[in-house]
């Protein structure tokens, strides 16, 4: 996408001049606008033809007595062509009906693709989601795209192990060799059949935990990291509190049923988003097959990821499955396309695989990644007072890209820095930053560095300055 950065300085009022002299900090607003001059006339001709055709169609249909439903009205609204980076007006029709079908007694919420206009609906049907509780979020911002009973406390089975892995990764070296405690052997449910005294690296135990959903691996990790299963559960609860989770409580590291072991779809999505930021966690859950040692013998254990989304969904990162008779089928999935990450969570979902495909598709239909500036792309001349040069040039070292709803308003940028700096200025010295906002909310920022330094100028003392200095 092509952006045109336009910097508008305020006119110099008396106050501005005073601020300049004092070196006070000011903000210079810029607007990132797409260039439309070359295509605007062409599209307006097309739109005019569409409007005429649509009007004729309305008149024709309205004269037909068999058409019982009231006709929708055509409205003009802003439309954004992501492929060509062009903003123009598009005519389309919509009804006053809520595009989200609301089931009786079920709480649905949904995010529109364009908060300033009615969005074009997608094929996603909330009523088709089989889960008792579900949520879809955009991973980087945590923005809720759609939810259903997302704050209801429910058992979560082995999706518990996302938090188990997160706490272990944050509190233990993955290369550490763990001697399996006898207390971790023979745990009911899924298992890799660990031996008491067997030695495995923490990394291999994490692979067993997240691929094979091994309950004995969960217990071995908990005892190694927390000293006991009970202490490790408290570490999990402390992490939940740190993340601000209000409907989550852990009693064990594996997810076997317990009245005091529960979460909500909303909280589980937050845990998943946090875990996904850990590169090792992301590497493990996106692995389909892995072999690990078998009790220091020549044999190996073959671990297979239970998450079918890895094979059946384009861009799937994977995450975690879970099931007990009490919890039903539970699933946390994540996928990434064009730098957009979407997370879906379902609890007690008989048709969870299909639920997740449609939920993820819906998420990707609403969000896009916008590149705002590349590395070292910006060049801003900045005045320097009292130096060997009268200015330096600022740039950004980090690229900036943001995830935003498709067809959202234009992103504005504000350059924050002093009107001038005093010498000396060092190379790579941070002198300001550029802040990007969407509808008044900060969506990204990058510090501005001096490309080269400016030394302080050395002035010769005049004859009269020497005389005056004698009497001071």
For residue 346, which of 363, 362, 361, 327 has the smallest C-alpha distance?
Answer: 327
Between CA 356 and CA 345 the distance in angstroms is 8
CA 370/CA 76 separation, integer angstroms: 25
Catalytic site residue from 119, 213, 365, 421 = 213
Q: Which of 148, 161, 290, 320 is catalytic?
A: 161
What DSSP character marks residue 72?
Answer: P
CA 145 and chain centroid, separation? 12
Q: Please state, in angstroms and rounded to a whole number, the distance separating the CA atoms of residues 42 and 46.
A: 7
Query: How many CB atoms within 10 Å of residue 187?
Result: 21
Whether 74 contacts 54, CB under 8 Å: yes
In the annotation, is 104 catalytic?
no
| C-alpha span between 362 and 1 (Å, rounded) | 23
41 is catalytic: no
- The alpha carbon of 463 is separated from its chain's Cα centroid by a whole number of angstroms, namely 66
CA 127 to chain centre: 26
Residue of 158, 266, 408, 421 marked catalytic: 158
161 is annotated as an active-site residue: yes
CA atoms within 13 A on the CB side of 288: 6
Catalytic residues: 158, 161, 213
């Amino acid at each position: 996408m092509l952006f045109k950065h336009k910097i508008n300085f305020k006119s110099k009022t008396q106050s501005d001049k005073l601020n300049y002299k004092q070196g006070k900090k000011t903000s210079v607003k810029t607007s990132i606008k797409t260039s439309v001059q070359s295509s605007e006339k062409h599209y307006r001709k097309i739109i005019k033809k569409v409007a005429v055709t649509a009007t004729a169609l309305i008149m024709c249909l309205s004269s037909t007595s068999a058409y019982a439903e009231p006709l929708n009205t055509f409205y003009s609204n802003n439309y954004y062509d992501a492929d060509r980076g062009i903003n123009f007006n598009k005519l389309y029709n919509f009804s006053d009906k809520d595009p989200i079908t609301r089931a009786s007694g079920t709480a649905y919420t949904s995010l529109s693709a364009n908060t300033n206009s009615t969005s074009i609906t997608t094929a996603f049907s909330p009523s088709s989601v089989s889960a008792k509780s579900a949520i879809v979020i955009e991973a980087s911002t945590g923005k809720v795209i759609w939810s259903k009973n997302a704050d209801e406390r429910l058992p979560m089975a082995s999706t518990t192990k996302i938090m188990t892995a997160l706490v272990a990764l944050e509190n233990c070296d993955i290369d550490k060799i763990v001697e399996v405690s006898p207390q971790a052997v023979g745990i009911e449910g899924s298992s890799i059949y660990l031996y008491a005294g067997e030695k495995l690296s923490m990394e291999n135990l994490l692979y067993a935990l997240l691929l094979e959903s091994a309950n004995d691996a969960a217990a071995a990790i908990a005892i190694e990291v927390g000293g006991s299963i009970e202490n490790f559960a408290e570490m999990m609860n402390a992490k939940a509190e740190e993340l601000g989770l209000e409907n989550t409580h852990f009693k064990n590291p594996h997810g076997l049923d317990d009245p005091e072991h529960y979460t909500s779809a909303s909280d589980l999505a937050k845990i998943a988003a946090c875990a996904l930021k850990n590169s090792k966690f992301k590497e493990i859950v996106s692995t389909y097959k892995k072999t690990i040692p078998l009790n220091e013998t020549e044999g190996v254990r073959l671990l297979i990821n239970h998450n079918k989304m890895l094979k059946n969904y384009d861009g799937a990162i994977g995450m975690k499955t879970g099931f007990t008779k009490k919890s039903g089928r539970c699933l946390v999935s994540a996928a990434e396309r064009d730098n957009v990450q979407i997370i879906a969570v379902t609890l007690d979902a008989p048709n969870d695989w299909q639920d997740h495909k449609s939920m993820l598709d819906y998420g990707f239909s609403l969000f896009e990644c916008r590149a705002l500036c590349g590395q070292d792309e910006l060049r801003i001349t900045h005045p320097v007072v009292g130096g060997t040069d009268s200015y330096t040039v600022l740039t950004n070292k980090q690229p900036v890209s943001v995830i935003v709803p498709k067809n959202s308003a234009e992103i504005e940028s504000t350059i924050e820095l002093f009107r001038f700096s005093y010498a000396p200025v060092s190379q790579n010295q941070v002198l300001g930053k550029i802040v990007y906002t969407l509808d008044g909310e900060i969506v990204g920022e990058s510090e501005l560095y001096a490309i080269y330094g400016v030394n302080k100028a050395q002035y010769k003392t005049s004859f009269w300055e020497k005389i005056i200095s004698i009497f001071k």
